[in-house]
Amino acid sequence: MRRLLLCVCILTLSFTLSAQTDGVRKYSNEFMFIGASPRGMALANSLCASVDDATSCYYNPAGLALMNHTMQFSAMHTEYFGGITSYDYAAAAIKLDRRSTLGVSLIRFGADNIPNTYDLVDANGVVNYDKVTDFSVANYAVMISYGRKYNERERYHKYMIRYGGSVKIIRNVVGPFANSWGFGIDAGLQVQVDDHSTVGVMVKDASNTFNAWNFTFSDAQKDVLAATGNDIPTHSTEYTLPRIILGFNRVHDFNKEFSLMGEADMDITFDGMRNVLIASDPVSFDPHIGLEGSYKKTVYLRMGFGNFQYYTDDNPDNKKVFGFSPSIGIGIVLKKLSIDYALTNLGSTSPGLYSHIVGLRVTIDKAKTH
């Protein structure tokens, strides 16, 4: 454990120094941090140490090694801003052997059917609605992940160690005006301390994920941009700095039927001061916790607490108050099918902006031969 903490300290120092990189943008590729399952989002995305299914591709690829099924498929859908934008996640994982698992996942976050009214009025001032077209603004990501058990817990092994990584390709499209390709690498580790406790470490964007942007404008659009005093971009490169996620998980079995799992995670970012519980420049700390109760490993009740921050209250004094966003959820396992639901963004920092999230998980096991 001391070596693990030392590695985290070294990573923190190196990422802090890299924060001076040109092209670094705060909140770059933020769609990659929304979540990947109703279970995870009901737990405020506190799964770094405990995840053990296909969604490990997102939360911690080391958890793929714990998948006990031949294959598993997971899918999730939700909408934001009254249905203006949609967010979808899908993943598939296949067991390669007793110790290793391969996973592939896809993320899309986008807004479709946006009216393009640039050519609505021609040079003579005539309005022509036939000239109105529509376009989409969308973010895509494909991740190829691998998880493996370093060892098994036996008499001569005090800890069970799992490690993994993900290679991700990112595509951003802003209608016909701009697009980008990006590339990055995630890395994860889980250390099972005993039968009930696990420590997890996840480094998202360990390679300093980049996005290479290209911009396309017609001559008429360039004239408008120039006349209004705007720069005319052609290309740029955007970097996403690493984010370290630390997690500690503990499971308590009351009896053969009831159990309670709790996990506390901490996101450490290096892109400048953020509006989180512990904010500084360039390093900020964002804690979040989740609780999950289960009955016969069939019915699950979940609760999470995240988005801890100070915000300006609606009063003449602009008094800052402390707030957070709780979330709740439920999961039901029906043999090889799991159905999950979450209700998020319930906190005082975003009243009335709650989100419904639904997801399915299907497992397939190879038939046993005698």
Average pLDDT rounded to a whole number, residues 140-165: 85
Shortest CA distance to 53 belongs to which of 25, 84, 74? 74
Q: What is the pLDDT of residues 112-123, one digit of tens each?
A: 998 888 777 777
Band (pLDDT 50/70/90 cuts) for residue 11 is very low
Shortest CA distance to 74 belongs to which of 136, 163, 161, 145? 145
**179 contact partners, CB below 8 Å, separation of at least 6:** 171, 172, 173, 213, 214
Cβ 259 vs Cβ 291: under 8 Å: no
DSSP letter for 256, please: S
Band (pLDDT 50/70/90 cuts) for residue 370 is very low
In terms of phi and psi (left: phi > 0; alpha: psi -120 to 50; beta: otherwise), the region of 353 is: alpha
Looking at the DSSP assignment, which residues form a beta bridge with residue 98? Answer: none
Q: What is the pLDDT of residues 35-87, one digit of tens each?
A: 999 999 999 999 999 999 999 999 999 999 999 899 999 999 999 887 889 99
Helix extents (H) in the chain: 2-17, 38-42, 56-59, 219-227
Neighbours of 362 (CB within 10 A): 15
Q: What is the pLDDT of residue 44?
A: 96
Q: What is the pLDDT of residue 13?
A: 41
Shortest CA distance to 52 belongs to which of 32, 37, 42? 37
Q: What is the pLDDT of residue 367?
A: 58
Cβ 339 vs Cβ 332: under 8 Å: yes
Map residue 15 onto helix, strand or coil. Answer: helix
Q: What is the pLDDT of residue 168?
A: 97
Of 197-201, 218-222, 258-262, 264-268, least confident by mean pLDDT is 218-222
Looking at the DSSP assignment, which residues form a beta bridge with residue 220? Answer: none
**Phi and psi for 274 in degrees, rounded to 5?**
-115, 160
**60 contact partners, CB below 8 Å, separation of at least 6:** 47, 48, 49, 51, 164, 188, 189, 190, 200, 202, 245, 247
Q: What domains can be seen in the chain, in order of their start residue?
A: 2-364 (2.40.160.40)
Band (pLDDT 50/70/90 cuts) for residue 165 is very high
